[in-house]
Structure 1
């Protein structure tokens, strides 16, 4: 992925940035289906803010990982040199925009993250072969207080839809990655396990927020939604049970990868339940919320 600030790919990067923002994280062409974010850093020499599209790896609920590959260039990308000078960055996920602290991984932690990346996509290893520098891996920690960041939506109903669509996209990526693993006849990869667990944690956090904040807010202002909210709460409990079962199948007691076929079965069960749940919530709540507004 081109990731320099002032290189021949600048116009290409800007096209990706514009498409990413217009479609809340979706891009087409070569990067269709890829996990991308927009990373804004402060220029080490100029102090000017620069935004760059970069690929990322899920890494649990507190951080994501980005890799300063520069396509195997002998030079570190500008965004990496910028964050070395100022680790305070801004991240756009397509749904949320948040402030983050960049931390360059070192030693065994870096090596484990790199191994996961290479296992998930051998292209990273190809980049490393092209350069003598050790390609850095950087963790981006969300530092926004009180939530995941500013949501890129103009209404509460739209916010529900864009968050739901983000879950749909991530689940589709996970299912595609599992299909590739199945076709290769391999075991469940370490990064794929992390992707699943990160998704599970994000879904748990989202449903907890709805139960504690969104649903009481809507029920108070729109009493006619009580039956729908009661059903949605019950579905949250059912989905939580499916999520817990998926977590159990992702690892044995010894921490090794679970059986891929069993994991796939649990992912499909969760997919069916979640898609029906999201569709019902959008159908029942969004018209009421945005119509009243």
Structure 2
């Protein structure tokens, strides 16, 4: 039976490129579509997630500490091939239920980030499962939830802005020692931003330069900004990688990156979106083959 609350969240999520309010406001949320263990029908559920590096994300089958696993967990155990929607990207993934030490370490990391998970575990005698969702390579450009290239660019930029806001908020709430999950979140953000800029440099910018020579000065500036941002990313990664990483030091590096990136994204949108919106322009999604 459809869940009215979930359906409202799903509709809001899809209408706003993954951004929702209410109970899930400010949370990392994805839509997980599974195949019914008995019915064989497709079911979509909004679930919170954690980054796990290398494009993998973790979801926790807590069901609020209920005595039974949620239906979506039973579904993916029976049919591990699932679909993930991030608000910007949609991709197929293979679900892996973590076992033993891998599960315990992932759950401990989640508890460190949000003590509510420990409260859920205390309510039930079952061991709350942790599931890794491994993206299945498609061999082509990413499936982006946008109807035009300008929407595509803006959606990706806004996703970076939202994630950076979440990361900064996590550091504001952290103590003097940097936790494991904020480290992973930050490193995942850095890798995603690097991939995005690489895609622009090798595909979208040359495409635009060929068709709009008047954009060359702006594109040159954007390329130079990519190089400066790459330096900031490397410095942030170096600080995060230190065992004795101080939260204030990391926060300062994140603020430097935030300032540079926001100025860069704003300038890029001002210069490129008007061109991308010109009628009859054909700018293919291959312009950003990485993420």
TM-score range, shorter chain: over 0.9
Q: Give the conservation status (yes or no) of the 8 Å contact 1:72–1:129.
A: yes
Of 242, 255, 269 in structure 2, the residue corresponding to residue 282 of structure 1 is: 269
CA–CA distance in structure 2, aligned partners of residues 144 and 250 of structure 1:
28
1:200 is displaced (CA, Å) by 0.4
1:222-275 Cα distance to aligned partner (Å, 9 max, x none): 1111111110000000000000000011122xxx25111110110000000000
Counterpart residue number, 1:193: 183
1:106 is displaced (CA, Å) by 1.1
Of 134, 139, 149 in structure 2, the residue corresponding to residue 146 of structure 1 is: 139
Of 192, 215, 218 in structure 2, the residue corresponding to residue 202 of structure 1 is: 192
1:91 is displaced (CA, Å) by 0.4
Distance 1:53 1:246, change over 3 A: same
1:140 is displaced (CA, Å) by 0.6
Distance 1:20 1:188, change over 3 A: same
Q: Give the conservation status (yes or no) of the 8 Å contact 2:60–2:130.
A: yes
Q: Give the conservation status (yes or no) of the 8 Å contact 1:245–1:266.
A: yes
1:124 aligns with 2:117: yes
1:137-158 Cα distance to aligned partner (Å, 9 max, x none): 1111111323673101111111
Q: SS where residue 249 of structure 1 aligns?
A: helix
1:135 aligns with 2:135: no
1:201-229 Cα distance to aligned partner (Å, 9 max, x none): 10011111111111111111111111111
1:168-212 Cα distance to aligned partner (Å, 9 max, x none): 00000000110011xxx3411110010000000100111111111
Q: How many residues align?
A: 280
CA–CA distance in structure 1, aligned partners of residues 254 and 86 of structure 2:
23
Q: Give the conservation status (yes or no) of the 8 Å contact 2:88–2:145.
A: yes
RMSD: 1.2
1:119 is displaced (CA, Å) by 0.3
Counterpart residue number, 2:162: 169
CA–CA distance in structure 1, aligned partners of residues 21 and 121 of structure 2:
26
CA–CA distance in structure 2, aligned partners of residues 41 and 48 of structure 1:
8
1:59 is displaced (CA, Å) by 1.3
Distance 1:237 1:147, change over 3 A: farther
Counterpart residue number, 1:24: 17
CA–CA distance in structure 2, aligned partners of residues 145 and 257 of structure 1:
39
Task: Output the TM-score relative to the length of structure 2.
Answer: 0.94
Q: Which runs of 5+ in 2 are unaligned?
A: 282-291
Task: Output the TM-score relative to the length of structure 1.
Answer: 0.93
Structure 1: 4+ residue segments shifted above 6 A: none
Q: SS where residue 291 of structure 1 aligns?
A: coil
CA–CA distance in structure 2, aligned partners of residues 265 and 257 of structure 1:
15
Counterpart residue number, 1:3: none
Counterpart residue number, 1:11: 4
Of 51, 74, 81 in structure 1, the residue corresponding to residue 74 of structure 2 is: 81
1:136 is displaced (CA, Å) by 0.6
CA–CA distance in structure 1, aligned partners of residues 262 and 145 of structure 2:
22
